[in-house]
Structure 1
Amino acid sequence: MKQREDVLIAGAGPTGLVLALWLARQGVKVRIVDKTAGPGTTSRAVVVHARTLELYRQLGMAGEVIASGMVNPGINLWVRGKRRAHITFIDAGTDLTPYPFILVFPQDRHERLLIAHLEQMDVKVERETELLGFEQHDDHVQVRLRGPAGEETCEARYLAGCDGARSPVRHQLGAHFEGGTYDQLFYVADVVACGPPADGQIHVSLDDADFLALFSYTKDGLARLIGSIREDRVAPDRELTFDDVSERAIRGLGVEVKQVNWFSTYKVHHRLTEHFRHGRVFLLGDAAHIHSPAGGQGMNTGIGDAINLAWKLKAVLHGDAADRLLDSYDSERLAFARTLVETTDRVFTFVSAEGGFANFVRTRIAPLFVSAAYKVEGVREFMFRLVSQCMLNYHGSPLSSGSAGKVKGGDRLPWAHGAALDNYAPTGTVDWQVHVYGRASDALSSWCHHVGLALHVFDWERAHEHAGLARDAAYLLRPDGYVALADPQARPEGIRHYFREIGYQRFTG
């Protein structure tokens, strides 16, 4: 008989690698293939947000990722060679997350780090291996692959398509990928830069001539440039080079480019498939949704897809939960992706619009508005929550229930900044757990011990109240750190009922 894997992953970008890591960490048999000969060699996606770092902490990776990247503590907006606005993430995010910054970590380095961790779990990416097709059956997916040794047929309980915007998995499913392409042509370049903006922060020029953003990712001047190219500068009879990029915006930032290591042009797309689950086949990352680079959300969203799906696959594969649990991957992540595509579309349209009125709003009104709004604490916090993905919630999910204090089922667990014990420390595991801030009843303690559900009790502090948590309430946390159930009464029967409702048998004793 053919060996049957639990999960076959097609695509070894960050989304596929994180999915493999989380599955392997949970004891799931995983196989990951990629048609390329090796990991990427260019920076591509460079932004890692706070919520992703929080999730990496559960794998014990956050510190290593931060040490490997460049902490960018703020964003600066420039117009005509002058800094017009400055946003400091530390001011906005200190009370919200252990990671109040944007980390710039080039994708090629990011992938190599993920691969190294995966290999420590005895899982290796099978390179130069292409998915040719697949057939779904009642209890497995039969997949045809072509690798260095020729063609083979293998079986897996589930197939995950993490194979990019041109996803062969999505194409074979016949799934639509509705959306469009923006008119503007953009460029991306990895450069060695010097000058005041090469200071470890993010700099954005909103000049009416060009849009330009600079992201430093090392202290010795390595940086990413992203910029727009106006139609009148595009020559149809030859390939563009960095020399063709307007110097006006670059000079406006005061950046001197000493060396260009990579340069490419591209069009920006915004597309979304109609379902992320198709029986035993799932779509994740760019295979399911692509959007503008505004806010650096793409890779982080794909990683979020992977983590959302991984714990649910493990539960079903290990017999802890019914198959219908997997439907929540589709509903939870599709709703977020739809909102994200709409939001980034509006932002991208604003920063790239041409014309006199658009230029006036972007260069005169926007910097003043941002500077004024950012002085208001509530606005500052909202902006950071939005960009960092700490605002993401699953309120409408069938897996979300109850409320206690300001926390609802579906919320990300609030971080209690300044508490004596870090309430994020216990989330360094990939499993369900219960948090109580104050006193846990004997009945709750006894029941959690009986069913093998981890219970963490924190002495009540003002930091917990400030975070919106309720005293003596029970917060049931999913393996991905989101609140599944918030019960102000902290009743074991309430938690037991919750698990029965979602078809999760493991903790119904």
Structure 2
Amino acid sequence: MLKPPQHTSVLIVGAGPSGLMMAAQLLRYGIQPVIIDSKPGPTSQSKALAVQARSLEMYRQMGMVEKALEEGKKAKGLAYYKEGEHLAELDLDQIGDQQTLYPYILLYPQSKNERLLLNFLTQAACPVYWQTSLVSLRQLGAKSQARLQIADQTYQITCDYVIGADGAHSMVRKQMGMHFSGDTYKHKFFLADVKLRSVIDDQLISLYIDKRGFAGFFPLPETDSFRIVASLPDELENDESPTLDAVLPALKSVTKKDLQVEKVNWFTTYKLHHRMATQFNEGNCFLVGDAAHIHSPVGGQGMNTGLQDAYNLAWKLAAVINGQIVPNILDSYAEERMPVAKQLLNTTDRVFNVVTSRTWFGNILKKYVVPRVLKFGWEKEGTRNFFFKRASQIGISYRDSKLSLSLGRPTEIKAGDRLPYLEIFDEKKKTKTDLHSWCAKPGFTLLTFGHVQESFLFTIAKWLTQDYNGAINFFHLPYSPANQKVFDVLQIPEGTRKVVIVRPDMHIGYLNDLIDIGMMNNYLRNVVGFKTP
């Protein structure tokens, strides 16, 4: 059994996707955290399944996306049934084409995501302290003191920062006295990972709805294998340990199909909640993932949102710990992520209430209105783009953040937006690449576009080296016909220039038509908070 150190810069409580992502991101910046979890080891059972494009972009930046793509399965479409009747089908294949390198929803279970991240930690020699529980936590001035339980031993550990990634029943949140407001949905649900005889298309997400409830069939990477999420029949609501055999008649009734189960890998029942912490940090203790917000599984957003929480917080925390940026930047974590969580909570709650409604009006809505909206709305490119940007999380923006500064002519893309995925021809290397690849290294990235004198580019590079000591990467893209699309999307007219400063999480921090070192320096020093060397 591993014995924890007496002090660590960052203690991460919880080794689920959010906690593991937090650890992995910190390791990219040279910070070795202590990560603990009360479980005996990584689980093979998990509720989350969908991995959205924004998370895949993050995995790519970390150099591990290929493994996820190899082991996952793309959802080809979504089929909608009411009382067994096929009412609508949405094509999801390449739905986000030209918007990202991953224009689809990848079905890749949470357990596999965790193993992917654990491999990253293992390669960086960062262990997870399994079977280790947080017993108590208190703040001591600028530090925190945690009491950990490992088997029959108790250990004291001090830490500069604590990350609560310990789920809906977060001990970190409770110890810090942070409220978790919201409610629990009325009915119980069940989840089953099964292999079926081929009566349901294993390339489609299939949603079946009737007066008694709903059932969603989500293809797993294995052939004819599905994750089923469905309403627990009313007659089994008070059954303490229902089985798949017990719910199968109701499942057949909802789908109107003769379901033949060949193998059951997992079956569980649970209640769903929609809650959000009233604050995302208290002093030097921060919440990410389910510890900060939980909601219905609509749209496959939960795990992805937790990954993005960690992605947002880690670079800021790393910059503070490494002495590059003033601690005030940590305030931007809650300022940026709480509105995202709140909007997600409201959206998934509304949709889930429609799906699970058993009222007369709700059934009319689901049978006649919803399929028509899906069918006719899906024919419009604008509707499909809107859906994909929301579901994939590439549409999340921090325009209102104090870290976002747009100067120059108004453009559709603004500071705070995710850097668009744009393929480019690298004039220097004479090879094809893309803007996201240019932002793959840890740290900020400064991008200049248009005609800029080589001597001035050298001056910029010299300034960054002397004043920022490698914390900011630098690339220049001159105008060329091969890169016309880049200039069109970024709205850079012929003969003009533009500078973009990209944050480590690939959101735009600064936009300007004028490439001025003094103005860029002002942004980095006075807006972001970089320290003077």
| Cross-structure match for 1:363 | 367
Q: For 2:313 and 2:102, how far apart are their aligned partners in 1?
A: 24
Instruction: Report the TM-score, using the length of structure 1 for normalisation.
Output: 0.94
| Cross-structure match for 2:420 | 414
Is the Cα contact below 8 Å between 1:208 and 1:363 reproduced in 2?
no
| Cross-structure match for 2:149 | 146
Deviation at 1:415, TM superposition (A): 1.2
Give 1:239's aligned amino acid. Answer: S
Tell me if 1:167 matches 2:170.
yes
Aligned residue for 2:47, secondary structure, equals: coil
Is the Cα contact below 8 Å between 2:189 and 2:229 reproduced in 1?
yes
Aligned residue for 2:102, secondary structure, equals: coil
Aligned residue for 2:463, secondary structure, equals: helix
| Cross-structure match for 1:179 | 182
Is the Cα contact below 8 Å between 1:444 and 1:490 reproduced in 2?
no
Q: Deviations over 1:358-377 (max 9, x none)?
A: 11111221111111111111
Assess, with a 3 A threshold, how the Cα gap between structure 1 residues 101 and 125 changes in structure 2: closer, same or farther. Answer: same
Q: For 1:445 and 1:372, how far apart are their aligned partners in 2?
A: 54
Q: Deviations over 1:294-319 (max 9, x none)?
A: 11111111111111110001110011
Is the Cα contact below 8 Å between 2:79 and 2:90 reproduced in 1?
yes
Aligned residue for 1:430, secondary structure, equals: coil
Q: For 2:450 and 2:204, how far apart are their aligned partners in 1?
A: 40
Question: Which of these residues, 393, 405, 416, is aligned with residue 401 of structure 1?
Answer: 405
Tell me if 1:344 matches 2:348.
yes
Say which is worse superposed, 310-319 or 75-84, in terms of deviation: 75-84
Say which is worse superposed, 490-499 or 324-333, in terms of deviation: 490-499
Q: For 1:140 and 1:469, how far apart are their aligned partners in 2?
A: 47
Tell me if 1:481 matches 2:487.
no
Tell me if 1:462 matches 2:464.
no
Tell me if 1:313 matches 2:325.
no
Assess, with a 3 A threshold, how the Cα gap between structure 1 residues 501 and 185 changes in structure 2: closer, same or farther. Answer: same
Q: For 2:488 and 2:80, how far apart are their aligned partners in 1?
A: 32
Tell me if 1:447 matches 2:466.
no
Q: For 1:326 and 1:66, how far apart are their aligned partners in 2?
A: 33
Is the Cα contact below 8 Å between 1:309 and 1:326 reproduced in 2?
yes
Q: For 2:140 and 2:162, how far apart are their aligned partners in 1?
A: 12
Aligned residue for 2:95, secondary structure, equals: helix
Give 1:226's aligned amino acid. Answer: V
Is the Cα contact below 8 Å between 1:200 and 1:219 reproduced in 2?
no
Question: Which of these residues, 424, 438, 441, is aligned with residue 426 of structure 1?
Answer: 438
Assess, with a 3 A threshold, how the Cα gap between structure 1 residues 77 and 318 changes in structure 2: closer, same or farther. Answer: same
Q: Deviations over 1:273-304 (max 9, x none)?
A: 11111111111111111111111111111111
Equivalent residue pairs, number = 506
Deviation at 1:6, TM superposition (A): 1.2
Q: For 1:281 and 1:493, how far apart are their aligned partners in 2?
A: 35
Q: For 1:274 and 1:380, how far apart are their aligned partners in 2?
A: 33
Is the Cα contact below 8 Å between 2:138 and 2:144 reproduced in 1?
yes
Deviation at 1:238, TM superposition (A): 4.8
Is the Cα contact below 8 Å between 1:43 and 1:190 reproduced in 2?
no
| Cross-structure match for 1:381 | 385
Question: Which of these residues, 370, 376, 381, is aligned with residue 372 of structure 1?
Answer: 376
Q: For 1:305 and 1:236, how far apart are their aligned partners in 2?
A: 36
Aligned residue for 1:369, secondary structure, equals: helix
Q: For 2:461 and 2:83, how far apart are their aligned partners in 1?
A: 62
Q: For 2:523 and 2:288, how far apart are their aligned partners in 1?
A: 28
Tell me if 1:191 matches 2:191.
no
Deviation at 1:443, TM superposition (A): 3.2
Q: How does 1:165-244 map to 2 (within 5 A)?
A: 165-231=168-234, 233-234=235-236, 236=238, 238-244=240-246
Aligned residue for 1:96, secondary structure, equals: coil
Give 2:433's aligned amino acid. Answer: L
- In structure 1, the gaps of 5 or more residues are none
| Cross-structure match for 1:332 | 336
Aligned residue for 2:114, secondary structure, equals: helix
Assess, with a 3 A threshold, how the Cα gap between structure 1 residues 92 and 218 changes in structure 2: closer, same or farther. Answer: closer
Is the Cα contact below 8 Å between 1:193 and 1:256 reproduced in 2?
yes
Q: Deviations over 1:415-450 (max 9, x none)?
A: 125865312111222210012333345435522343
Deviation at 1:355, TM superposition (A): 1.7
| Cross-structure match for 1:272 | 276
Question: Which of these residues, 285, 288, 313, is aligned with residue 292 of structure 2?
Answer: 288
Q: For 2:69 and 2:438, how far apart are their aligned partners in 1?
A: 20
Aligned residue for 1:502, secondary structure, equals: helix
Q: For 2:424 and 2:92, how far apart are their aligned partners in 1?
A: 18
Deviation at 1:193, TM superposition (A): 1.9
Is the Cα contact below 8 Å between 1:71 and 1:101 reproduced in 2?
yes
Q: For 1:323 and 1:498, how far apart are their aligned partners in 2?
A: 16
Q: For 2:486 and 2:195, how far apart are their aligned partners in 1?
A: 45
| Cross-structure match for 1:438 | 450
Is the Cα contact below 8 Å between 1:203 and 1:213 reproduced in 2?
yes
* Cα root mean square deviation, aligned: 2.0
Give 1:242's aligned amino acid. Answer: L
Is the Cα contact below 8 Å between 1:409 and 1:485 reproduced in 2?
yes
| Cross-structure match for 1:8 | 11
Instruction: Report the TM-score, using the length of structure 2 for normalisation.
Output: 0.90
Is the Cα contact below 8 Å between 2:252 and 2:259 reproduced in 1?
no
Say which is worse superposed, 404-413 or 480-489, in terms of deviation: 404-413
Is the Cα contact below 8 Å between 1:292 and 1:344 reproduced in 2?
yes
Is the Cα contact below 8 Å between 1:73 and 1:100 reproduced in 2?
no
| Cross-structure match for 1:497 | 522
Is the Cα contact below 8 Å between 1:209 and 1:248 reproduced in 2?
no
Assess, with a 3 A threshold, how the Cα gap between structure 1 residues 418 and 350 changes in structure 2: closer, same or farther. Answer: farther
Is the Cα contact below 8 Å between 2:193 and 2:227 reproduced in 1?
yes
Deviation at 1:469, TM superposition (A): 4.5
Q: For 1:366 and 1:253, how far apart are their aligned partners in 2?
A: 22
Is the Cα contact below 8 Å between 2:50 and 2:106 reproduced in 1?
yes
Give 2:297's aligned amino acid. Answer: P
